[in-house]
Amino acid sequence: MRHPLRVVVVLSLLGTAVVLAQAPTPAAPKLPGIDDAQVISPKDARFAPAKTPHSEGVMQAPIAADPPPGGSVGYAKYVPDAGIPEHWHTATEYSTVIAGNMRLKLAGKTYDLAPGSYWVAPPRTPHQLTCVGPGECITFGRRAGPVDYNFVK
């Protein structure tokens, strides 16, 4: 009599495991829209390593999405001497330095930027941003379209 009971228990546990395995995994939290009301500070942002190639020492924290054109808004944090190699995007990039000193190469000209400095890279305009320290740098940026990186060779 014990054997059939074991089979029932094992099959019940196996069935439960199959059901749990098929349950959907929780999705990443959806970003608010670019026009949604919100208040955020860099100290509250959820920074994660940048997924951009060749961006060691750069952290990103998206804070809003612009679904129709595929744009985004967010912070980026750089350790001293970190940056992203010269590249361009298919959409305009708008950015403000929040903390630290940075060097921007934009369309062949070089600029030294301090907190509060604002810059715009029109579509297909080569640019490179590097944190020159002495501490970390933080920027706040918006992309008017897809977040693509086309590296200049």
pLDDT tens for the chain, 153 residues long, are 555 545 444 444 444 444 444 444 455 568 887 777 878 888 888 899 988 888 889 998 888 887 777 788 999 999 999 999 999 999 999 999 999 999 999 999 999 999 999 999 999 999 999 999 899 999 999 988 888 999 998
- The reported pLDDT for the residue numbered 23 is 45
- The reported pLDDT for the residue numbered 54 is 82
Token pair 């808004």 is at which residue? 73
The size of the chain, in residues, is: 153
- The reported pLDDT for the residue numbered 136 is 97
Domain around 81: 42-151
In a domain, 54, yes or no: yes
Separation between Cα atoms, residue 48 and residue 38, nearest integer Å: 20
CATH number, domain containing residue 80: 2.60.120.10
SS3 letters for the chain?
CHHHHHHHHHHHHHHHHHHHHHCCCCCCCCCCECCCCCCCCHHHCCCEECCCCCCCCEEEEEEEEECCCCEEEEEEEECCCCEEEEEECCCCEEEEEEEEEEEEEECCEEEEECCCCEEEECCCCCEEEEEEEEEEEEEEEEECCCCCCEECC
- The reported pLDDT for the residue numbered 27 is 57
- The reported pLDDT for the residue numbered 2 is 55
Closest CA to 67 of 145, 11, 123, 132: 145
> How much is the CA Rg of the chain, to the nearest whole Å?
23
- The reported pLDDT for the residue numbered 70 is 79
- The reported pLDDT for the residue numbered 139 is 97
Instruction: Indicate the number of domains in the chain.
Output: 1
First CA to last CA across the chain, in angstroms?
75
In a domain, 1, yes or no: no
- The reported pLDDT for the residue numbered 135 is 96
Separation between Cα atoms, residue 12 and residue 39, nearest integer Å: 49
Separation between Cα atoms, residue 84 and residue 60, nearest integer Å: 12
